[in-house]
Structures are given as C-alpha cells and as structure tokens.
Structure 1
Amino acid sequence: MSKSNPTDRPRAAPMFKAPQTPAQTNPIPSSSPAFGTPAHPIRPFNAVPAAAKQSVLPILLPPATLRPVAFRTFTKKHSLTLTSSALQVLATFIGRHCGTGWREEGLAERVLEEVAKSWKNYSKGVIVEGDSTELKDILKNLEGSMIGGRIVASRELSRQNSLNLGPSQYGDDSTTRLGLRPGSLGREDSQSSLGMSMLEMDENDEDALKDPRKWLKVIDAFEQPRLVYNVAKKHFDRDSSKPSLLPQASHKTQVFRNRYNLIHQRILRNESFQTSAVEASKTPSLKRTSSALATAQQSYKLTPIANLLGRNGSNHMILGLLTISPTGTLAINDLTGSIALDLSHAKPVPEDGAWFAPGMIVLVDGIYEEDDNHGGTLGGNGGVGGTIGGKFIGFFIGGPPCERRSVTLGLTGTNGEGDTTAGGGFGWVDFLGVGSERAVGSKMRKLEQRLLGKRLEEGDGVGRGRMIIVGEINLDQPRTLQALKKLLGIYAAEPEDDTPMTFILMGNFVQHAVMARGGSGGSIEYKEYFDALASTLSEYPTLLQAATFIFVPGDNDGWASSFSAGAATCLPRKGVPEMFTSRIKRAFATANAEAEKEGGKRADGDAIWTSNPSRLTVFGPMHEILVLRDNMSGRLRRTAVQFASAKSSDGDGDVEMAPTPALPPPATEIDEDVQEAESHEPEAISEEDKLTHDTHIARKLVKTVLDQGYLSPFGLAIRPVLWDYASALQVYPLPTAMVLADTEAPAFCVTYEGCHVMNPGGIVAPGRRGVARWVEYDLLNKVGKVREALF
C-alpha cells in the first residue's frame, strides 16, 4: 500500500465519510510533536472546518486594556510576574487570534490560563519575559491548536502540562503519574501548584502511597515563605528581599505595620464591623423594628487616632498597639498617630477572659478628652504621625475577634470542606509552600480518606494517624529518661501497623543553660546528655524504623543559650546544632539498616531537628500543626495590665461594713507574733476547683494568643524577634492544631474557633511522684488528649 501525500485528503469508505460542506478544506490537525499527533492522522468525524480560522477579525488590543485580565490570571492565580514586553506580546497574540471576542466570550482568559500553565512547566522562574524563547515556543504551539479564537485541545493541553513531570525534576517514580507525589509539593513549586487541581486520581498507585507518613512535611521557620499583606491589592505578596539577621532599622517598623494591616483587614471582614447597605439606604423611620435594632447594635466603626482631633467628648472605637510611653504611662498607637490611654475605668471584654499586655493590638471603646493647654495637638504636628494631645478614656477593652480557618481560606461547604468558588478569602494563597487550598485541597481530602479513613473503617492500622507530643525533656534529670522509657515502651508494645506517625520531643533539653556555664558542665556535658538520649532511643528500634522523631529546642538549648544564659531568646530560633546530635542520627541509621538486613524491607525512620517555632503539614494544606515552645503564661502574668474592675467586688449594691473593733488588749502584739510563728495547715483545694481553675487558665491563654494571631504578642524588649523572619510568627490563617508547650501552665487540650490547642507540659508531672505525662493527637479526628502513666 503506497503512502499518501500528507496534503491530500485521506480516502475512506463511503459509509464512513462525513457530510461534505462547500467550504470544507483539509481538516487534518497539526502534526506538531508538542500535541502528540501522528504524521498521517485519521480525519475525525467531528472535525471543525479549517475555514473557521478565517472567521476571526484581528484587532489591535492595547496592553493597558489587557493588563487587569493578565494580572488576575498570572499574578493572583499563578503567582507569576509579567513584564511590560511580555504583556505586549500577549496583547498582540490575543488581538490577532481572538479578535473582538476576547472579552465578551472570555477567550483571552483561556489563552492566558494555558500560557501560564505551560510557562510553569517550561521554567521555574516567576518572571515572564517577553523576549524569552520559552514564551515564543508556547505561543507557537498554542497557535496551532486554536480554531476560531478558541483552544480546541484545551483539555488535552491542561492534562499534558499537569502530568508532564519529568524524571529530571521529580524522579522516575510511579506516583508522579498522579502529580501528587510528596516530593512534588516542594517550596520551589509552591506557587506553581495550581496545575495540580486539574489532575485525576490514579487508584492503581495505592501501594506506593499507603503510608500516610510520606505526606508529613516539617517546615522550618527560616524556610517558610515570607508573605506580606498588600493593603492596595488586598492580597498577600511574597517578600523577595534577602533576609538578614542585622537588617535596617526600617524593618522594625515594618513588623508592626504588617501585624496591624493583617489584623485590620481581618476585623473589617468580621460581620460586626460591616454595615448593611440595605439598612443604610432606607429612609429613617420612627418605627423601631427588631431587625433594624439588631443591625445597629452589631455594627461598629473604627476611628483612626489622627481623626480624634477636634472631636472632644465624642465616643469612638480605636484599634491600635498597646505600648508604654517614655513617661511611663500607657499609650495606644496606630498607623496615623499615638495618644495617651486611660484605663482606670476600663472593663475587659470578656471579663478575666484574656490578658492585655503592652505589645498587643487591642480594641478600645471610649471617649476622647482634649488637652486644653495644647489644643489637642503636641508639637504642632496635627497628630498625623505623632502624639496627639489629650487622652483617650477607655471604658471597654478587648482583643481583635478571631477568624476561623475556613473563613480565611473561603471554604463554604459543610465543616469548611466544600467548594471554594463562591467564597472569598485567601484560598489561592500558598502560605507554607505546600500548595494552596484551592489548588490541592480537594485531591488531598480524597487521599486522606484513602490512607486514613479506610483504615479507620476496616480497623487496620488505626493508630498510624497519631502524633505523640512530649514537652520539657530535661536530659540532665534522671527521672526524665525513666519517664521517656515508659512512654516509648507503651507504643513499642503495640503492633507495627499501629505505630504512631511521629513523636515530637520538645526542649528545654537541659534544665539550666549549660552553654553559658549555668548549672553544671558546658558543651561537653551537653553532648553527653544527647548521647544518653540516643542510648535510650536505641532500645526501641521498631519505633525508630517506622516513625519520624521531631526535636524542637527551648531557650536553654544551644547555641542561643550561650549568650542569653537561659533568658528569652530571639524568635524564631534555629534547632540544636548537628555536632551535638550526631549520635542520635547514627542510632536511626543503625535501626534502619538492621530492619533491611533482617526482614528485607526498607525502613526509613528519621530524626528531624527543626526550629522554634516550626510547622508540620500532613496532606498539604489539609493539616497544619503549629509547634511552639515558650513559657508564655508566666510572661503574660508579669506584664499584663491590671484593671480596677477586676479588683472591685462583683456586687453593685451597698456593702455591709464590719463593726468597729474594740481596742485590743496590751498583749495583742505578742499574741500576733506567736500566731504567725505557729504552723497552720493550708486549706485543701478540691479536685473540682483545681480542674475548673486549670480550664480557665487554659482558655485564657489560648484566647489571648489566637486573637492576637501572633506568637510573640509582647514588646521587643520583653521578647526579641528577628525582624526579617517575623512573618513566621503569624498565626494566620489559624492552623488546624497548635502545640503550645508551656510548663508554667497546666496541661490541656482546648478547641477555640476550630483550632485545637494542646499543652503537654513537662514529661514529668510536677508535684506528682513517678507520673509521666504527654499528649496524644488524633490526626483524623483532630482531637488530642492528655495521657499519663506511672513509671
């Protein structure tokens, strides 16, 4: 059989011939290798006539007209930056091939979508250059698949771009066919993870992904993407500047600006600060309805501090940073100015429900009282950017209302797991570099159901989705290692399939800052303590082979304690240096080698030394666990503002005063001395009262931290912060779970606004002899519980 000419129409039997049209020409698709079509394809029955290509009337599309659409597609959706030359090239291409239907029919958005996806598969760069060879090749290939201004191979293109994960980038593994291989969620491609939303799940690769621990990722605070909220765009921008430990002084001001802008936009999204446009447009009426009254009561308005000038005696609500002025009095600052704050008559909301310390951003409702001597200003600066004369008398003070994670990410379905297209929020933002909620959220939920949900239903390996959290492991105390052996022995006795996913061991790993010659010993003794820990872990090889051990340092650990001497160090802080932990890593390598030698199976237990704070993610953005080691409750009690209302009695009525005592006998002073010298047994506190007190302290601590949305809500003199890494301390959006290891607070597990907060305390329960204590967190149900055992 002779080969036909590619330019001739292929012959077929009459019964298979498609109906002829007058203007029909050769409908053979392009034979470009980019689209995988053969050199001599068979003519499809539903081929669109090539004459349709001539129906598009080219137009001259100005780049400025296309800029909003290109910005929405490239920058907001794909986190790419278009240069002016690239925008000119795209405008010329769309005007020539899409014509007048580029806006009304949405042809331009489809073209830009395919160009953005193809660019991310060509290059790792985020800047799209107009004179680049990659962009020219993309447009050349795209031109061959367009008919009548439409991309006829859009679906095939999207699938090819999404699944074309070459072995040079991700390795030759069967799971790369999914596009969901754990390594594919790296930080380099975190902003380019949008293509994953087009992928299909492959049920044949279940064996390769049967271990949920493969999807566990530990994100160091120094490697976390540094995002800054852009007030003009109302979106998050990536800080592209190089961070430094000794930055410019302007970066210190930027830390406050970022915190304020983030909380300010969060408050404006709250329903209590949104005025109904329908009620505002109505004509005022004397008739009072319940709905109108409710709207008036729930609507609040924030007033900038600079706008208080000339409004003496008026009531306002202000949002600002609580600080201490150079004169020693309280003041409140925002981006427009500063004013003295009088809280002598203030009442906290809720009462005794949170701490308010200098360094926190608070809401204050009160009256502005003008200074008669200075006319309301100080230094003639009009209040803008300076201190306003007079004072603000606060009647109510409270923290900024918290926002649920589902609201922040724009999840509108049941339990925050539904479609995100109808909701607002920041679902497209990749906060941690593991993929955004809109990009990979739905796929990760299916994967979680396969790996954890089915096991729970079948009762096979139900304990695999657990995290064991242990706090304050003082290796220089013998009782600590005894308690740790008891804990590890409990989980080592369980079946291998039920081994917990990870163990989180938290410092301080020494009771005193030995690196600063505190307590006894120095760096040599400090290494010996970790060698003793390595010997303890080596006794449980099954745990080392099947679990990931994560170590989070405290303030007494090296190297930071060498110059802080156990005081509060800068946050975030790096992990323990490798020179002290080499024996522990050797223990894991030995356990894995023995498992491969004896059973012939591959063991990949691992030890990770991370920063404080750090974040753990499981299944991408599905589970985010924030880990912080800090004695925050004690610092809050020392620095919090005391209110007069808390000291006064609860009753508002008359107080019955005691009668005037009679004159004491001459021997009263001697009797008092004897009375003080005698031993008195203190009143016993009931277990119920102690439990109520511990619960109250836990809720107070959790509400304070999550309302602030910041892990160091103190002044920089109280808790230093590395300015360029302050974005790692933001608690926005709320994580699914948070570990706040505080030895000065009782152990607890509390849920607030959908965020489950856990405090394991110390591994050795204080005041109780021979009791080991830790927290066990269930990843699937998102619930933790405090566990205890005798040793």
Structure 2
Amino acid sequence: MDSDPVPSSSPGFGTPAYPFRKNRPNALPTRTSVLPILLPPSTLRPVAFRTFTRKHNLTISSSALQTLATFVGKNCGSAWREEGLAERVLDEVAKAWKKAGGGVIVDEGKGASLKAILQALESNMSGGRVVSGKHATSDEVPSRTTSPGQGTRRSRADPPLYAAAGLEGEGPTETSDVPSHPRHWVKVIEAFDIPRLTYNADKKYFEVARSRPTLFPPSSHRTNLFRDRYNVIHQRLLRHESFQSPSGPSRILRQPSSSLAVTQGYKLTPIANLLGRNGTSHLILGLLSTSPTGDLTLSDLTGSISLDLRHARMVPEDGAWLAPGMFVLVDGIYEEEENVRGSTLGGNSGVGGAIGGVFVGVSICGPPCERRETSLGMNNQQSGREVSSSGGLGWIDFLGVGSERARGPRMRQIETNYLRDVAKSERRLRVVALGEVNLDNMRTLDALRKVFSVYHHLPSEERPSIFVLTGNFVQKAIINSSGQAGSIEYKEHFDALSLILSEFPSLLQHSTFIFVPGDNDPWPSAFSAGAASPVPRHSIPELFTTRVKRAFATANSQSDSSQSSGPPGEAIWTSNPSRLTLFGPVHDIAIFRDDISNRLRRNAVNLSHGADTAMAEDAHASPGEPTDHLEPHSQSPQTGTDSNPTPSTTLFARRLVKSILDQGTLSPFPLSLRPVLWDYVSSLQLYPLPTAIILADPEAAPFCITYEGCHVMNPGRLVPEGELSFVRWIEYDAVKNRGRIQQERL
C-alpha cells in the first residue's frame, strides 16, 4: 500500500477511492453506454454527402443511406451530431469501402459488402467512437475479388490484398511476408468468368448485369449488345480533347493542316436531328451496316439513314479497315429524299426507324482510341501510381481481380519488390507465345522440341514464367463424324505432346503452360467442321489432356521444393478468348485466336477516293502529333538473321491493330459474319485497353506493335509455310511491355 499513491476512502478497511488504479497496466477502459435513437435517413443525408461525396468522391444509394442511418442511431445515439460521432464513423466506413474494392456507388453488392464492414466496425466501437489502433482485418472485411493466383491460397497471416499503399494518407505497408515471385500472382480468367458489365448512360458508370447468363437469352439481349458498344464508344469520344467545346458555338473544322491549333471542338449530330436540315454539314457517329437492298446504312440510338460513300475519303488514308458491324465517324452533307435524284437511296423512309433522304459522306474514319491510363483516371501515365479523384473508371473491377484504385498501388509495390530482386539476380518476367501449334504435323513437334530446348538450358531465374500455346492444334477438324476415330486420334496428338514435354522437366517445374483452342478443336468443330463458331469458346475438354497433366505431376514430384522459390508448374486449358493477369490489375494480357485479318479484308468497305475535303485529322490526335501511335518493336532473332518486317508487312499490321483497338472489341462484325454469345460479350470487350494483346492470327505475318500504350503481338505460325527450316515465336517482357520476334533453325 505504501507504493500505491491512490488514497483510501476508508483506512480501516483499505477500500480504494477509485475502482481502478491509474497505474494498472491491464486496466480496461470504461465502456460508455449509448442510448439508441431512431435516426431518419433524411436527417443524416447532409453529413453523408459531406463525408462520402465531397471527401471520398463516392455516391451513396438510398438503401445504403438507410442502413447507415440505422447503424449510426444505434451506436452513436443522441450525440451523433453535437460530438461529431456520425462523421467519424462514416469516414471509417468510406475508407473501409475503398480498401475492400468497392465501386463509386456505395451499395450492397457493388464490389464490397457494406454489412460486413459495419459488422467489423461495430466490434471496434466504444461509446459511439471507433477505438484507435484497431482495424478490420482481411477476414473481417471480405473483398469480393478472387484469389491473387491460380491454384494458390493465401494464409490468414498475410496482409490484406486490398490494402493500398499511399492511399488515405497512410504510408507504404510492409510486404516482406507477401510472396513476390510473379507466378504467385498469375491468374488466367476464362471468358465465362469475366464479370458481365453493362454501361449505364444515365449514371455514366458500368453496372453488373443482374440477369443470369444463358445460351438462349431473350432477343432484347441482342439489341443491348450493340447499344452497350455504342454507349461506351460515345462516352469515350466525348471525353476526347478534340470534342471538348470551349465557350461559344461548336462547328466542324476543315483545316488544311493538322499542325494548326484547334480553337473549337467537334460536335456530334444525332441522326433524328437531320430532318428538316437539307444541305447542311454534320458529323455523325453510327453503326455501319448493310440494308436488305444491299445499300450501306448508318444507325445510332435515334434512327438510321442511307449512306452514300462514293465520294468519301478515309482519314487517315489506308489507316484502318471499315466493315459492316463497326462504329464509324462520318462527316458529310444531308440531302432530303425529294432532292435525291436518279438514286434508290433513301427509299425506305419510316421503315425500321429509317429517316428519308441520304447522308453523303465526305470523309469517314473510326472513333479515336483511348489510352488505358485515361480510361482508369491515372495522372501519372508512366508509373500509373496516382489515380485522380475525379473522372475515369479506376474503381471498377473489370476482370474480377480487383480494381485499379483498390489494388493497383498494392500490387505495384509487390512488383517493385520483385524488380528489386531482379536487379540482383538478373531475373526477368517473360511470356513466350506460340501460334498455330498443329500437333498432327511432325514438323511442329520438332519445332516445339527446338523452342523448349532453347529455354531448357538457361538458368532457372532466366526461364520464361509462362508459355502460351494457341491452336488450331490440328490442321483439319477431325471430330465431326459419327464414329469415335476422330476423338481417339485427337487425344493421341496430345499424348505425343506430353512425351515432348517430359523431355524438359525443368520447364514443367517452373513454368505455367496455357493452351488456347482454335476453330478446329473440340467441341465446336464437331458441328462447325472448322468454320467460324460462336465466341467465346470453351476450353479443350479434360478427356484429351490427361497425359499432359500427368507429365506435369510427374515432373513436380521429382523436383526439389526446398530449392524452388515459386509455385510448381502447371498446365491450364482456357477458353478463347481469355485474359491473363499478372500482379492483379497491373498487367492485363488479352489472348484471342482468330483469323480476323482475312475476315476484315473480305468485308471491308471499298472507298473511292474523291476530293481532298475531310474532317481534320485532329479527331485522332492532338495538334502536332501523328495520327496513330504505332511503334514497331521487332528485333533481330537470336540467330542473328534480320527478321524486321518489310514496310508492307508493317503497314498491314498497323491497319489490323488500329481497326480492332479503335472499335474496343475483339469481334467488330455483325452477328451473321461472326456469331457471338450475347450474354458473354463482355469477354470480347477491349475497354479499358489491356496492357498487351496476343492476337494469334496465322494468316498474318508475325509482328509486335504498340498502339496507344497497348502492345499487340501476333506470333503467326510456329512453322511458317514454305520455310521448312525455321521456327518463329514471340518473347514478351511483361515488365517492359515489349515483345520481340524470335527465330531459330530446325
């Protein structure tokens, strides 16, 4: 008692004056009781608007506001306004919502669980206040994103994956206990697992489709397919600097030189607004299609009109292919129906929403593309570390691996730790892409053995982390008969592949092999006989791949796990198309196997060049910059021979890449030319642009080209036709976002 400075209220009995001593280390704080109140949502709305909207750039729905009002009235009581308890609680909820990967709209089911956040927050509150030093863990506040790697599980001791370094005033989190090997963060996303997002033109935001996907959807889904494409391109176009109108009226500019400064932006005219404006010039964004009479038409959300392109000029000339099914910008003059003489155009007035008259095109081009950094709202285009608080779609999880705003900074910090080790051990993050791997061709088997031997003898830290093998895995569709010989023969081809893979156990132990099917592979070839089948297509059935999986299991059982820092090797059969992500949303690689170049050339509109009057090329680039940003990056192969593409090959690759990326989809064709599963069209979307695309087109020459920051690669054929002694493939450096064509002699 001599050491106790607290006086006693009764010296005879030794009763302390206070129930707890101040110097007691394990003393618990008194828990202040809160008298719950009934708080109307309308009363809490001003505080919620000030906290969520002004401070955190979030929008709160009415249902979420009701939930928060009930929570604040229960846990903060009558002192929610005077002592500022409600504002502090809402601030913690907003921070937890961002870290959990929620979207801009705070609502249950929008990327994070609001109920889980409130439940975790309630356990850390005392007397209406959040106890400092306690934060919700990754198990308490679940994020609705998927696991970071294929086949890997994160332990409870790992830090939350959504913890964003540098956000909300916090310092960089420690990542020493997080696996930095890139193959821990490799994920292959099938087309049928990609979130089904639709663009809401009123809210200017992407929403998750509520209907359940099916192979036999209602006919309204077919209309929504093109409506969503139009809305995405339209909002992308209006955010382009050439369509930003200053104060004063906007008009269409026709400048003789693109180097002149643009003082006024372009203005789009809906097709329905052409009525009564005979002889006036307009700029229209619409869907290029063919009418039942064989004439070209242009359609938007307001109507359609006949199109006369006999005097139109492409801008830029030979810059891209324009085919029916694509959205185009047409600058021209409207002529009413009674003024059109000697022509059958404009004769379907009122049929199917078509207006009378004809739109005489002067110039035509595709909509300008938008960089990935601009779409996601990044300020720093080089590193992508900073995300602006307004504009962009950085909060949207397009692939199910987390949004750029929620997980991007964290994943970049993990990648930085890996690159720091790269500088010490000379490791690189490489992806090898092989195209048209025909296993029924003996030359292809020899070529595969040659490619694998090149990397088999390299040190373990220099071997590629990923091998991408694209079909067709047979030259002709053999599973299209009533007998069973086709299936047996097809399985034997993969059995032969397993024998070759078994010769290189080091690759099977330290690399991920991804197989993407083609038109001749099962099961679509069973009813299409190798013709264009609907996309997306499922992966090759497990029935044919058992021997290959057994080869990987055997190699991993013989490896020394104590010397391996990465996960074991694996073989993944995925759909066509599919997505490959590295470090979450940091590296997004789209993979698509299709003969798209031949389809573009067969269906492209043949324009006759007329007078040199067209809309300024500034619609594709800012003043003083080139119209396209295509940069060839083909380098010499390891053999030392010069494999740089000829100028004609480069121009062909430029047209192909620009035609696809400007449309923002992998299938810019009408459904009659390229069937598409209506409910899975999100898997074909290229908005925002991925960091890289593996466009496996065997009919086009190999190339590596960068357009608006997106690196597009075509491995071509593994064994080129007519060149029996060469094998070609693509080696892609994910860190530098550059690929190069490799070539070896057989």
- Flag whether TM exceeds 0.5 (same fold): yes
Aligned counterparts of 2:223 and 2:166: Cα–Cα separation in 1: 34
1:439 to 383, 392, 406: 406
Task: Identify the range of structure 1 (72-81 vs 542-551) with the bigger mean alpha-carbon deviation.
Answer: 72-81
| Matching of residue 340 in structure 1 with residue 306 in structure 2 | yes
1:231 is matched with which residue?
A: 201
**Conserved 8 A contact 2:577-2:592:** yes
1:40 to 27, 36, 39: 27
Q: Per-residue deviation at 1:743?
A: 1.0
What is the letter of the counterpart of residue 360 of structure 1?
Answer: M
Task: Identify the range of structure 1 (588-597 vs 323-332) with the bigger mean alpha-carbon deviation.
Answer: 588-597
What is the letter of the counterpart of residue 704 of structure 2?
Answer: C
Deviations 1:481-501 (A, max 9, x none): 001100000000101222211
Equivalent residue of 1:693, what SS?
A: helix
2:42 is matched with which residue?
A: 62
**Conserved 8 A contact 2:514-2:573:** yes
The 1:138/1:615 distance shift into structure 2, 3 A limit, reads: closer
The 1:75/1:587 distance shift into structure 2, 3 A limit, reads: farther
Aligned counterparts of 2:272 and 2:555: Cα–Cα separation in 1: 65
Output aligned runs, 1:241-280, within 5 Å. 241-277=211-247
Q: Per-residue deviation at 1:174?
A: 5.8
Q: Per-residue deviation at 1:691?
A: 0.3
Deviations 1:100-126 (A, max 9, x none): 7879x95574154267589999xxx94
Aligned counterparts of 1:587 and 1:79: Cα–Cα separation in 2: 53
What is the letter of the counterpart of residue 559 of structure 2?
Answer: A
**Conserved 8 A contact 1:225-1:432:** yes
**Conserved 8 A contact 2:411-2:584:** yes
2:322 is matched with which residue?
A: 356
Q: Per-residue deviation at 1:406?
A: 0.6
1:35 is matched with which residue?
A: none
| Matching of residue 202 in structure 1 with residue 174 in structure 2 | yes
1:312 is matched with which residue?
A: 278
The 1:379/1:756 distance shift into structure 2, 3 A limit, reads: closer
Aligned counterparts of 1:176 and 1:417: Cα–Cα separation in 2: 29
The 1:228/1:69 distance shift into structure 2, 3 A limit, reads: farther
1:415 is matched with which residue?
A: 382
**Conserved 8 A contact 2:186-2:582:** yes
Q: Percent identity?
A: 45
**Conserved 8 A contact 1:342-1:393:** yes
Output aligned runs, 1:448-487, within 5 Å. 448-451=415-418, 453-458=419-424, 460-463=425-428, 465-487=429-451
| Matching of residue 86 in structure 1 with residue 67 in structure 2 | yes
Larger helix share, 1 or 2:
1
1:614 is matched with which residue?
A: 578
**Conserved 8 A contact 1:527-1:580:** yes
Output aligned runs, 1:182-581, within 5 Å. 201-205=173-177, 209-277=179-247, 294-296=261-263, 299-372=265-338, 386-422=353-389, 424-451=391-418, 453-458=419-424, 460-463=425-428, 465-517=429-481, 522-581=486-545
Task: Identify the range of structure 1 (407-416 vs 504-513) with the bigger mean alpha-carbon deviation.
Answer: 407-416
Q: Per-residue deviation at 1:165?
A: 7.6
| Matching of residue 160 in structure 1 with residue 136 in structure 2 | yes
Q: Which has the larger radius of gyration?
A: 1
Output aligned runs, 1:142-157, within 5 Å. 144=126, 146=128, 151=130, 153=132, 156-157=133-134
**Conserved 8 A contact 2:431-2:733:** yes
Q: Per-residue deviation at 1:614?
A: 0.5
**Conserved 8 A contact 1:273-1:301:** yes
Q: Per-residue deviation at 1:548?
A: 0.3
Larger RCO (alpha carbons 8 Å, 6+ apart): 2
The 1:177/1:691 distance shift into structure 2, 3 A limit, reads: same
Aligned counterparts of 2:58 and 2:572: Cα–Cα separation in 1: 33
The answer for unaligned runs of 5 or more in structure 1 is 14-27, 29-37, 44-48, 186-191, 282-289, 649-686
Deviations 1:433-459 (A, max 9, x none): 1111111111211211111x223322x
**Conserved 8 A contact 1:745-1:761:** yes
**Conserved 8 A contact 1:324-1:358:** yes
Equivalent residue of 2:236, what SS?
A: helix
Aligned counterparts of 1:786 and 1:79: Cα–Cα separation in 2: 50
**Conserved 8 A contact 1:441-1:620:** yes
- When normalised by structure 2's length, the TM-score is 0.81
Aligned residues: 683
**Conserved 8 A contact 2:52-2:90:** no
**Conserved 8 A contact 2:645-2:703:** no
Q: Per-residue deviation at 1:532?
A: 0.7
Equivalent residue of 1:345, what SS?
A: coil
Aligned counterparts of 1:293 and 1:97: Cα–Cα separation in 2: 62
Aligned counterparts of 1:457 and 1:360: Cα–Cα separation in 2: 46
**Conserved 8 A contact 2:124-2:131:** no
Task: Identify the range of structure 1 (74-83 vs 705-714) with the bigger mean alpha-carbon deviation.
Answer: 74-83
What is the letter of the counterpart of residue 158 of structure 2?
Answer: R
The answer for unaligned runs of 5 or more in structure 2 is 7-13, 251-256, 613-641
What is the letter of the counterpart of residue 428 of structure 1?
Answer: W
1:99 to 81, 89, 105: 81
Aligned counterparts of 1:754 and 1:470: Cα–Cα separation in 2: 23
The 1:323/1:534 distance shift into structure 2, 3 A limit, reads: same
Task: Identify the range of structure 1 (602-611 vs 324-333) with the bigger mean alpha-carbon deviation.
Answer: 602-611
The 1:97/1:707 distance shift into structure 2, 3 A limit, reads: farther
Aligned counterparts of 2:666 and 2:455: Cα–Cα separation in 1: 32
What is the letter of the counterpart of residue 45 of structure 2?
Answer: T
1:735 to 676, 690, 699: 690
**Conserved 8 A contact 1:363-1:400:** yes
Deviations 1:572-607 (A, max 9, x none): 111111101111111101111111499899961100
**Conserved 8 A contact 2:333-2:361:** yes
Aligned counterparts of 1:700 and 1:211: Cα–Cα separation in 2: 37
The 1:535/1:350 distance shift into structure 2, 3 A limit, reads: same
Aligned counterparts of 1:133 and 1:781: Cα–Cα separation in 2: 41
Equivalent residue of 2:332, what SS?
A: strand
Q: Per-residue deviation at 1:421?
A: 3.1
Equivalent residue of 1:514, what SS?
A: coil
**Conserved 8 A contact 1:162-1:195:** no
Aligned counterparts of 2:563 and 2:131: Cα–Cα separation in 1: 54
Equivalent residue of 1:449, what SS?
A: helix
Q: Per-residue deviation at 1:161?
A: 3.5
What is the letter of the counterpart of residue 215 of structure 2?
Answer: L
What is the letter of the counterpart of residue 721 of structure 2?
Answer: P
The 1:137/1:534 distance shift into structure 2, 3 A limit, reads: closer
Aligned counterparts of 1:422 and 1:90: Cα–Cα separation in 2: 27
**Conserved 8 A contact 2:37-2:73:** no
Deviations 1:13-65 (A, max 9, x none): 8xxxxxxxxxxxxxx9xxxxxxxxx962489xxxxx999x99x9998651693
Aligned counterparts of 1:366 and 1:291: Cα–Cα separation in 2: 19
**Conserved 8 A contact 2:502-2:555:** yes
Aligned counterparts of 2:166 and 2:77: Cα–Cα separation in 1: 26
What is the letter of the counterpart of residue 744 of structure 1?
Answer: E
Task: Identify the range of structure 1 (60-69 vs 70-79) with the bigger mean alpha-carbon deviation.
Answer: 70-79
**Conserved 8 A contact 1:403-1:753:** yes
| Matching of residue 110 in structure 1 with residue 110 in structure 2 | no
Aligned counterparts of 1:624 and 1:340: Cα–Cα separation in 2: 40
Give me the CA root mean square deviation: 4.4
**Conserved 8 A contact 1:193-1:436:** no
Aligned counterparts of 2:493 and 2:115: Cα–Cα separation in 1: 57
